[in-house]
Chains A and B, each alone.
Chain A
Amino acid sequence: MRTRRHSWIASAACAALLVAGLAACGDSGDGSTTSSGDAATSGGDTGTGTDTDTDTSGDVVTINWWGFAPDVSVGEKYVAAFEAANPGIKVVYKNFENTDYAPALRPALQSDEGPDIYEISAGGNVAGIQLWADYAEDLTATAEEALGADWKSKFAPGYIDQLTWPDTGILTALPLGGVGAQMFWYNKTLLDSLGLQPPADYDEWVEQCKVITDAGYTCMAMGAGGDMTFGTELLRTTTSSVDTEYWIKALKGEASWEDPVFYEGIQILRNMIKDGIIQADAIGVQQYPEANNTFMAGKAAYVQMGTWYTQYAGREAQTVAAQAAGVSTPDPFVMMPMLTPNLGGQTPGMVAEVEWGFAVNPKSKNMEAAKKFATWFTTTQEGQEVILHYLDIGLPALVGMAPNWAEVDLVDPDIQIPAFEEMYAAAGATAETRQLHLSQETSNALVIAVQEALATDKSPEDIAAGVQAAAVARP
């Protein structure tokens, strides 16, 4: 009998341990991560950032920053600059691929173990404000404290409104800077070697691509496979080449997707792959890393990317990117921006909006340090200079700032700097936003529309009908 009772006790104890273990997995309690002195454990530089949000070691506070941008190499430089200027705060940066960011962030923010700092952008299905507004600390008072009563006027026009959630009126994030898109980049070194100049129109581009592919290169690197939305930017460009005002109206619900303008935009996109401008297997690869690697390795003449690509124009950053693309001893090439040529009768300008901002998790146990991190980069001249130096974001958040080109080790500064200044001027001058009116549903429908245009014989009318059925307007 004793043996039997002992076995019951043992099994009950095991069961209790399991229950306790499961409970521990589910919730660690709201105060359990607080630690102090030498009892603190460190998450270190592994970037996991989930094991210790409140990690104090002496006077040092550790905060975790999760983001989809910038690249790790640039992010580490941001962190190093911040830590040098703010001793006592240690930052662990964890970078995610675009498609992994939201799936990782949602459960983290719903738990008590999420990051202290994360990123919110104006729209889209990665960091769009509509996805994360419920999980953001209101930073209005923080911005006012940092910049004074007229704080709004010190930011570039529109940026604060784009990061303010209209339903609640809270400022979800402080902007780091702006982003411009609907443009291309080209490998000038490659074009020069083939005796080519950037094309002025569609026909010229097709002729040029024959020369480029005959020489063994890809004309335009593009990845439209998977869930990434970069391919939709080219569909927007081709559609805007027909009517420059149509796209935003369609996003807002003011125009139907079942419209001849959209049909023609789809057809131009389809022609681009048939005529050899876009790489033949664009649907089978993704923009990151594959298409990006193709361009960075010097194997493609063109790529459609935005102002964030300026970061690779510097020798060091381009060398790192080329090595990541598999080139053992890269020889940096001259990267140049190109505004959209005439593809369908019009030459659409750039689109631009706030790139992304630093949001603070309301559950952060290091609220002061997190706010310090967010405000240092976004409201101080010193922080903005760091951001602009690495050119991941070339459009400053604060009025009156600009990249210091003398500090950037460009491959051919004499021709690159004027081109970059022209590009930023075009981005700063445009009133058309990039993702502000893009809902998650519309974004997904457009991803499928691009795949249908490039990989099927479905008519543009049928493709557009599919978008119209799935899209959700975001006025």
Chain B
Amino acid sequence: MASTSVSAKGRRGKTPPGTTRGAAEQHRRQLKLRPAGFGWILPALVLSVGVIYFCIGYNGFLSTQQNKGGIDGGTFIGLDNYRNALSNPLFWGALKHTLIFFLVVSLVQIGMGIIFAAMLHSKIHLAVVYKVIIFMPFVIAPAIMAPVHRQVFATEGPLNWILTNLKIQWLCDHIGINWVLEHLHLPTVAAQSWLAQTSTSLLVVIGVQIWSTIGFAFILFYASMGQIEPEMIEAARIDGATNPRILISLVVPSVRGTVLALLILNAITALKLFDYPYLMTRGGPVYTSDFLGTYIHREAVTLTNLGYAGALSILLLILAIGASVVMSLWSRRGE
């Protein structure tokens, strides 16, 4: 902003012709208050205010109403919608799923992204093919992939076929993996109705999200690792560091900025998640894969509780702003 606050006089070095000194001074002060590039951002400003901020404001207005979308409009009920939301277990359930989603997706995505990127920075054959394979899911739209995943995870689908016919389920039973999972109250590696169970629906949504975004994390880490000086790695090797040691002590700290960027992006994605849960499970069964996005959609569209949905949207906005602020502060502290 400061760089654009240049007055007309400052730029030309003299007062505009035909003005008195006092008027020229006043004109100069006015121009100082107005950034020189303001005119150019005006169309974007109109668009933002007209669409985004107006909608946020209208949502806020709506959230104070009991509004079923009828011709008569709504009735003012103050903050009742917010009280109802904060006392509703469905809201806290959706928030819990959001948190689990954020943690699991971030952990796996960052871990696998670093591993894939490190592997492809080593000299391996067909590296370009691997890059394409890893990145491809990221560019395919959820609307296209969701029906495919519904087939993959169907009871008679290919996943269950693989688990059964390739003896993976048998193997997990015999080496004790399923015993451990059972005792941890986690779904076992076995053919089952993945989308129809309360115990597995959230897992499926998380798995699909990881599958579709891991390529993005991989590309970021791959680029980030390319910035590490080869001499540093060489020096570490001369000092006797093994590959895992180099990865943990040298590479990972060097890509810290990318990790933070991914955490911020995952937090925002988790809060506004809608596509995969809606298209694959509709938030069910019994709300077990429900997120704030699907919850708001159900209240606004299916049940036409527009006021309540407005309150949920404002709460979502507050959470998103809060998450962004926390992440930014964390990022700055790290720097």
Q: Which residues of A contact B (CB under 8 A)?
A: 1, 4, 7-8, 10-12, 14-15, 17-19, 22, 99, 102-103, 106, 110, 125, 131, 134-135, 225-227, 279-285, 440-441, 444, 448, 451-452, 454-456
Please give, as numbers and ranges, the residues of chain B lying within 8 Å of A7 by CB-CB distance. Answer: 39-40
With the chains together, A448 CA to B93 CA distance in Å? 15
CA gap between A7 and B153 in the complex, in Å: 57
CB distance from A161 to the nearest CB of B (A): 22
Within the assembled complex, what's the spacing in Å between the Cα atoms of A4 and B45? 19
Task: For the complex of A and B, list the 9 residue pairs with the smallest distance between their C-beta atoms, beginning with the closest.
Answer: A284-B196, A284-B195, A281-B193, A283-B196, A14-B43, A11-B39, A281-B155, A226-B282, A281-B196
Interface-located stretch among B46-54, B121-129, B134-142, B227-235: B46-54
Mark the stretch among B77-85, B102-110, B215-223, B297-305 that contacts chain A: B297-305
Docked complex: B152-196 residues within 8 A CB-CB of A: 153-155, 193-196
- Which residues in A have their C-beta under 8 angstroms from that of B195? 225, 281, 283-285
Instruction: Evaluate whether A99 and B196 lie within 8 angstroms (CB atoms) in the complex, with A226-B282, A451-B284, A455-B285 already known.
Output: no
Q: In the bound complex, how far is the Cα of B136 from the Cα of A106, in angstroms?
A: 38
Nearest A residue to B11, CB-CB: A4
Q: Which residue of B lies closest to A22 (CB)?
A: B50
Q: Are A452 and B286 in contact (CB under 8 A)?
A: yes
Cα–Cα, bound, A455→B155 (Å): 14
Q: Is the CB of A455 within 8 A of B47?
A: no
Q: Which of B42, B282, B286 contacts A14 (CB 8 A)?
A: B42
A282: chain B residues within 8 A (beta carbon): 196
The answer, among A10, A18, A135, A280, for a CB contact under 8 Å with B196, is A280
Q: Which residues of A have CB within 8 Å of B43?
A: 11, 14-15, 17-18
In the docked arrangement, what's the CA distance between A283 and B47, Å?
43
B4-18 interface code vs A (CB 8 A; 1 in, 0 out): 000010000000100
- Contacts A10-B39, A14-B42, A282-B196 known; 10 new A-B pairs at CB < 8 A: A12-B42, A18-B47, A19-B46, A125-B302, A226-B282, A283-B193, A284-B196, A455-B196, A455-B285, A456-B198
CB B27 to nearest CB in A, in angstroms, measures 12
Task: Determine how close the nearest CB of chain A comes to the CB of B119; give it in whole angstroms.
Answer: 36
Report chain B residues within 8 Å CB of A4.
8
Q: How many residues of B contact A (CB 8 A)?
A: 35
In whole angstroms, what is the CA distance A454 to B286 when docked? 10
Check B193 against A227 for contact (C-beta < 8 Å): no
B42 touches A448 (CB 8 A): no
Residues 297-325 of B, flagged 1 when their CB comes within 8 A of A and 0 if not, give 01001111000000000000000000000
Interface centre among B39, B196, B198, B302 (most CB of A within 10 A): B196
Q: Is the CB of B196 within 8 A of A227?
A: no
- 21 A-B pairs whose Cβ atoms sit less than 8 Å apart in the complex: A1-B8, A8-B39, A15-B46, A18-B43, A22-B50, A125-B302, A225-B282, A225-B284, A225-B285, A226-B284, A281-B154, A283-B197, A283-B284, A284-B155, A284-B194, A285-B195, A440-B304, A444-B303, A448-B287, A451-B284, A456-B198
Q: Which residues of A contact B45 (CB under 8 A)?
A: 15
Chain A residue with Cβ nearest B278 = A226
* With contact pairs A22-B50, A134-B70 given, residues A455 and B39 touching in the complex (Cβ less than 8 Å): no
Find out whether the CB atom of B302 lies under 8 angstroms from the CB atom of A99.
yes
For B45-82 the 0/1 string (1 means CB < 8 A from A) is: 11100110000000000000000011110000000000
